[in-house]
Amino acid sequence: MDIAHKDSTTLMRRFNPGDALFALALIGGALFALRQYGDFMDIYDKAILLLTVPALAAIGVVAWKPFRLFLAVSAGLAVFSLSLYGGDLARAEQAFFLKYLISSQTAIMWMSALFFIATGAYLLGLAARSDFAEATGTALTWCAVTMGTTGLLVRWYESYLIGTDVGHIPISNLYEVFVLFSLITGLLYLYYEGVYATRRMGAFVLTVISAAVAFLLWYTFSREAHEIQPLIPALQSYWMKVHVPANFVGYGAFALAAMIGVADLLVRNGILISRLPPAKVLEDVMYKAIAIGFAFFTIATILGALWAAEAWGTYWQWDPKETWAFIVWLNYATWLHIRLTKGLRGALLSWWAVIGLLVTAFAFVGVNMFLSGLHSYGSL
């Protein structure tokens, strides 16, 4: 038997009825969305939807089996929420489940609470050496990302209930992208937790997610940011639907790498060494997270340049947001170059990852707070 035939046979053995059912469900969901909401989509929206199907199938079938249940439950809750609305936004204050569980705002508030509690469980597990507490943290994190994803999906529908001219994908302002950041970082962490079969990184990664959620709550209650607003003209583009998610995969991965860097530094200094994975494992997670983040951030930067060319007639203008995006890109490009070509390992890379998060945070939020430019529509 030649190698190619052996590899294909192994792949077929790994492909089980559950995989086929998941793939068929994705196809069915995409066809339902086209049939139900196709009138609101242009050709680019439909292309993005159809390309999403094989991407999600690859994640759930090849890379990460637990992703299937998460996606199924999130989609199921979102569909249930939509059925409760029945086309009437006023139902959000009338139907019990909408008012207290699965309208967009209540689901996102549940996400926030669950992330806080999960962080406490992971910290307790780390401090008390409790496997049960850490397992509870994992379960709560899964619940948090499920509720957050449900919230965003329902918010998308709610925006169209306000008006077809208002409806848009919920990744257009700081409120929405902070939810997106929390979800992506949480999912990336859960993936690495499963791959490396250790929950002992959770106390660190969930801390940065809780910090993002704390900002989200402050921003929500101080600015009433949860209210759905029409898109400004600059954001009325199909480019937003691909540029923003790719960008936040990068941000989430960089945040995860930084917190793993903190754990690595503690191990290397003999602190919590009996409760954390070995430095080699932490270093490997940090490297893979930065590699994934860099790939997606590069794609996002290219997409952003194409969007700029269409909107403003030029690919790059050294706007503050663009300048800091380039600084972020250059920082992690250098990190990867030194690690891959020079073989550098150890505490320096961990410190670099931690400092890199500060650079990334400024590009993410600081530019909006302190600088003005073409991207000022995302200001605080």
Average pLDDT rounded to a whole number, residues 361-377: 73
- Confidence bin at 3 (pLDDT 50/70/90): very low
What one-character DSSP code corresponds to residue 172? S
pLDDT at 349 over 60: yes
Structure token pair of residue 72: 């199924």
> In angstroms, what is the C-alpha Rg of the chain?
21
Q: How far apart are CA 380 and CA 363, in angstroms?
A: 14
CA dihedral 207, 209, 214, 216 (to 10 degrees): 170
pTM for the model: 0.92
- Confidence bin at 371 (pLDDT 50/70/90): low
For residue 1, what are the CA distances in angstroms to 6, 66, 234, 306, 353?
6, 33, 57, 47, 46
pLDDT at 5 over 70: no
Going by C-alpha positions, the residue among 207, 21, 225 that lies closest to residue 124 is 207
Taking a C-beta distance cutoff of 8 angstroms, is the pair 141, 202 a contact? Answer: yes
pLDDT at 41: 85
pLDDT at 4: 47
Q: How far apart are CA 29 and CA 82, in angstroms?
A: 14
Average pLDDT rounded to a whole number, residues 147-165: 94
pLDDT at 15: 65
Taking a C-beta distance cutoff of 8 angstroms, is the pair 94, 83 a contact? Answer: no
Average pLDDT rounded to a whole number, residues 27-52: 89
- Confidence bin at 373 (pLDDT 50/70/90): low
Q: Per residue in 172-226, pLDDT tens?
A: 888 999 999 999 999 999 999 999 999 999 999 999 999 999 999 998 888 888 8
Q: Per residue in 56-82, pLDDT tens?
A: 999 998 889 999 999 999 999 999 999
For residues 48 and 344, the model is more confident at 48
Average pLDDT rounded to a whole number, residues 260-284: 90
For the chain, what percent of residues have pLDDT higher than 90? 67
Taking a C-beta distance cutoff of 8 angstroms, is the pair 258, 251 a contact? Answer: no
Q: Per residue in 283-339, pLDDT tens?
A: 999 999 999 999 999 999 999 999 888 888 888 888 888 899 999 999 999 999 999
Would you say the C-alpha torsion 212, 242, 79, 58 has a positive or negative sign? negative
Considering the chain, what is the average pLDDT of its residues? Answer: 90
pLDDT at 53 over 80: yes
Taking a C-beta distance cutoff of 8 angstroms, is the pair 245, 281 a contact? Answer: no
Q: How far apart are CA 217 and CA 9, in angstroms?
A: 51
Q: Per residue in 8-24, pLDDT tens?
A: 455 455 667 888 899 99
Structure token pair of residue 230: 């029409």
Average pLDDT rounded to a whole number, residues 226-232: 88
Average pLDDT rounded to a whole number, residues 130-145: 97
Half-sphere exposure of 180 (CA within 13 A, CB side): 22
Would you say the C-alpha torsion 258, 196, 75, 41 has a positive or negative sign? positive
Taking a C-beta distance cutoff of 8 angstroms, is the pair 251, 357 a contact? Answer: no
Structure token pair of residue 92: 């959000």
Taking a C-beta distance cutoff of 8 angstroms, is the pair 182, 149 a contact? Answer: no
Average pLDDT rounded to a whole number, residues 152-173: 92
pLDDT at 291: 97
Cβ-based burial of 34 (10 A; exposed 0-12, middle 13-18, buried ≥19):
middle
Say whether 277 sits in a helix, a strand or coil: coil
Structure token pair of residue 47: 């292309």
- Confidence bin at 1 (pLDDT 50/70/90): very low
**Length of the chain in terms of residues written:** 380
Q: Per residue in 186-199, pLDDT tens?
A: 999 999 999 999 99
pLDDT at 154 over 80: yes
